[in-house]
């Protein structure tokens, strides 16, 4: 059997190219426009020196004269976009320069949704959130959502939700505009909300207790013990969910020049939460099952904090029948994790004395509190 391999290379390579073949290395000079043939064990190699070229087909392998690839891989030089700041070339499907992050000129005509979400934003960065408002999606809209990184099951579940759902988060308004236009063309109803509008850097005011009457609601803050009174008809929205905090720790001890794990632990805390919003109030108030006085429930008070929170929410909604109760946070966790990942931070207790030697403790903690706050504020802005 004869195997023919055609190798083509450009002038920007070194003056000598080495080709490994069946344990041998053949070095070829390319200072002549000629063809050199080598016959080794019925293997035939043809090396052509064609000079510098930008043709993407310049690196093609052939078997008996038949190309291995049916189409070029990558982009040609004429298709690349040059960054006006750093001068480097970028793929035409990118919106921002991969090296310096500058918006590329002319990217809006060729960029796709995958290129727009190439970089995942940090939690502290101010980004633009693209929110899907309608629940029924066309096949084209589902295809566009899959390009944003959403899995097939998540895309199908988005169509089941009746409340606004965030689908992606980008760094600039220009990128958000392009994504919004493509999704609207596919029939999706889109809304753009910035992180500044969500007020993610300030949590809702935590409450210690609450007093309920037919005419008003009195909320008592957790830290300052301040009492704030609202008319009962001003209650607009109640959002329920849970805040899950996971903390892991491992203890390492140095033995014979190596650190060995001698102990590890993982602790998870699941706390029920309810955010309440009044008319004219965008920050909101937060009720946590831990540290809250449920004595307002009277005889309806239970031994379980989760049951008490559910009963309290029912009493709050009974005060104002026009108040909206939304409790679909848990069902949306898969989609929300894609847009607003849980906050993870590293922890270290330093060097500690353990027995006759020293040990080092390291750990990590994760929480979805920031995620729930963003979703709660998004629902408030949507009213």
In tens digits, the chain (383 residues) has pLDDT values of 444 444 444 443 344 444 444 444 444 444 444 444 444 444 444 444 343 334 444 454 666 677 766 666 677 788 888 998 999 998 877 777 888 878 787 665 555 666 555 567 887 888 999 999 876 777 887 777 777 777 666 777 776 788 999 988 988 888 888 888 888 888 888 899 999 999 988 999 999 999 999 899 999 999 899 999 999 999 999 999 999 999 998 888 777 777 777 778 899 999 999 999 999 999 999 999 999 999 999 999 999 999 999 999 999 999 998 999 999 999 999 889 989 999 998 887 777 777 666 777 888 999 999 999 999 999 999 98
Over the Cα atoms of the chain, what is R_g? 30
| Measured distance CA(134)–CA(250) in Å, rounded | 46
| Measured distance CA(313)–CA(318) in Å, rounded | 9
SS3 category, 140: helix
Report whether 290 contacts 369 (CB < 8 A).
no
Q: What is the pLDDT of residue 52?
A: 37
Two structure tokens written together for 122: 């940090």
Strands (E), 30-88: 35-40, 43-48, 62-63, 66-67, 81-82
Q: What is the pLDDT of residue 258?
A: 75
Give the DSSP H/E element, type plus range, for residue 339. helix 333-339
Nearest-5° angle of CA 301, CA 307, CA 310? 100
Give the DSSP H/E element, type plus range, for residue 170. strand 165-170
Q: What is the pLDDT of residue 200?
A: 85
Backbone angles phi and psi of 376, in degrees to 5 = -65, -45
Four-point Cα dihedral 231, 236, 241, 244, nearest 10? -70
Cα–Cα distances (Å) from 257 to 120, 183, 253, 263, in that order, read 38, 57, 10, 18
Tokens 């298709």, residue located? 79
Instruction: Count CB neighbours of 163 within 10 A.
Output: 16
Nearest to 352 by CA among 262, 250, 251: 251
Give the DSSP H/E element, type plus range, for residue 248. strand 235-255
CATH 3.30.1390.10 residue ranges of the chain are 113-198
- Rounded to two decimals, the pTM is 0.73
| Measured distance CA(182)–CA(283) in Å, rounded | 33
Q: Could you say which of 2.60.420.10, 3.40.718.10, 3.30.1390.10, 1.20.1090.10 is the CATH number of the domain covering 113-198?
A: 3.30.1390.10
Q: What is the pLDDT of residue 153?
A: 66
Q: What is the pLDDT of residue 25?
A: 41
């Amino acid at each position: 059997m004869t195997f023919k391999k055609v190798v083509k290379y450009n002038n920007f390579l070194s003056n000598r190219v080495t080709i490994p073949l069946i344990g041998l290395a053949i070095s070829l000079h390319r200072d002549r426009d000629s063809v050199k043939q080598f016959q080794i064990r019925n293997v035939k190699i043809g090396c052509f020196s064609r000079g510098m070229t930008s043709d993407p087909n310049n690196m093609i392998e052939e078997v008996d004269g038949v190309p291995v690839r049916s189409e070029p891989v990558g982009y040609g030089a004429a298709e690349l976009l040059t960054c006006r700041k750093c001068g480097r070339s970028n793929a035409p499907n990118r919106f921002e320069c991969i090296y310096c992050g500058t918006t590329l000129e002319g990217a809006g005509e060729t960029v796709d949704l995958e290129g727009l979400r190439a970089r995942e934003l940090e939690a502290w960065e101010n980004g633009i959130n693209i929110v899907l408002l309608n629940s029924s999606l066309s096949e084209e809209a589902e295809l566009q959502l899959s390009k944003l990184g959403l899995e097939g099951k998540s895309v199908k579940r988005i169509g089941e939700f009746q409340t606004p759902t965030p689908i992606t988060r980008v760094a600039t308004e220009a990128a958000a505009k392009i994504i919004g236009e493509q999704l609207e063309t596919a029939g999706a109803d889109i809304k753009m909300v910035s992180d500044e509008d969500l007020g993610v850097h300030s949590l809702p005011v935590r409450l210690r207790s609450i007093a309920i009457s037919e005419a008003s609601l009195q909320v008592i803050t957790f830290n300052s013990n301040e009492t704030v009174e609202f008319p009962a008809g001003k209650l607009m929205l109640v959002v329920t969910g849970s805040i899950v905090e996971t903390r892991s720790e491992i203890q390492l001890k140095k033995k014979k020049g190596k650190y060995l794990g001698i102990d590890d632990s993982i602790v998870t805390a699941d706390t029920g939460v309810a955010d309440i919003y009044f008319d004219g109030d965008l920050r909101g108030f937060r009720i946590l099952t831990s540290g809250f006085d449920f004595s307002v429930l009277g005889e309806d008070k239970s031994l379980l904090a989760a049951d008490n929170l559910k009963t309290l929410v029912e009493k709050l909604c009974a005060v104002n029948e026009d108040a909206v109760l939304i409790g679909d946070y848990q069902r949306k966790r898969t989609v929300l994790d894609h847009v607003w990942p849980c906050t993870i931070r590293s922890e270290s207790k330093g060097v500690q004395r353990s027995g006759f030697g020293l040990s080092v403790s390291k750990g990590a903690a994760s929480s979805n509190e920031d995620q729930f706050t963003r979703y709660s504020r998004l629902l408030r802005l949507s009213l």
